[in-house]
Amino acid sequence: MSRGSLLLLSLPKATFAWSFSLELGGVVAVVNSLPLRPEKKHHRLRRNKDFQRVYGHGRFLSSAELVLYSLPAGHATPTRVGYAIARKLGKATLRNRQRRRLKEIVRLHAHLLPSHGYNLVVMVRQGAAQNSYHQLETAYLALLKRFNSRRSH
């Protein structure tokens, strides 16, 4: 076997992608099936200006533990996810633990997010300071279910 085929066989199934072009009224749109990878830089909200735009112009869904802000960004841009943990939550070690938990939850359930067209901010509320991973995951999945049901209407 050649070296290239060995590399291809070692890739996980989710990394295979397809692409096609679609012409609508003289406009050519390229559609990619690449999965959302929230841990990659181009799939994260990083600038304060982007966060402020989502807070100011977006919609939000909330629970006792989390708030999910969303702002449509156009179908040409990939969905980007940002994380917000307020200093009110507690000391830096506690905030970082909750941020790491939240990032892992979003990464594991990225297949439930739209791959293109949204900027999302997930904020941990003060009441969730001592919540376990499973409690945060349950709250996130409930918010995501509500988000997807509103998005489909």
Could you report the per-residue pLDDT of 32-61, keeping only the tens digit for each?
445 667 666 677 888 999 999 999 999 999
Question: What is the value of pTM for the model shown?
Answer: 0.72
User: Would you state the pLDDT for residue 34?
Assistant: 53
What domains are defined for the chain?
A: 35-152 (3.30.230.10)
Phi, psi of 118 (to 5 degrees): -140, 150
User: Would you state the pLDDT for residue 25?
Assistant: 52
User: What is the rounded radius of gyration, in angstroms, for the C-alpha atoms of the chain?
Assistant: 18
Render the burial of 106-127: b for 16+ CB within 10 Å, e for the rest.
Answer: beeebeebbbeebbbbbbbbee
User: Would you state the pLDDT for residue 126?
Assistant: 87
User: Would you state the pLDDT for residue 51?
Assistant: 92
Task: Give DSSP secondary structure letters for 98-132.
Answer: HHHHHHHHHHHTGGGS-SBSEEEEEEE-GGGTT--
Cα gap 136→106, rounded to integer Å: 11
Per-residue pLDDT of the chain (153 residues; tens, 9 = 90+): 444 433 333 334 444 344 444 445 554 444 444 566 766 667 788 899 999 999 999 999 999 999 999 999 887 788 899 999 989 988 999 999 999 999 999 999 999 988 888 999 999 998 887 889 999 999 999 999 999 988 776
CB 56 within 8 A of CB 136: no
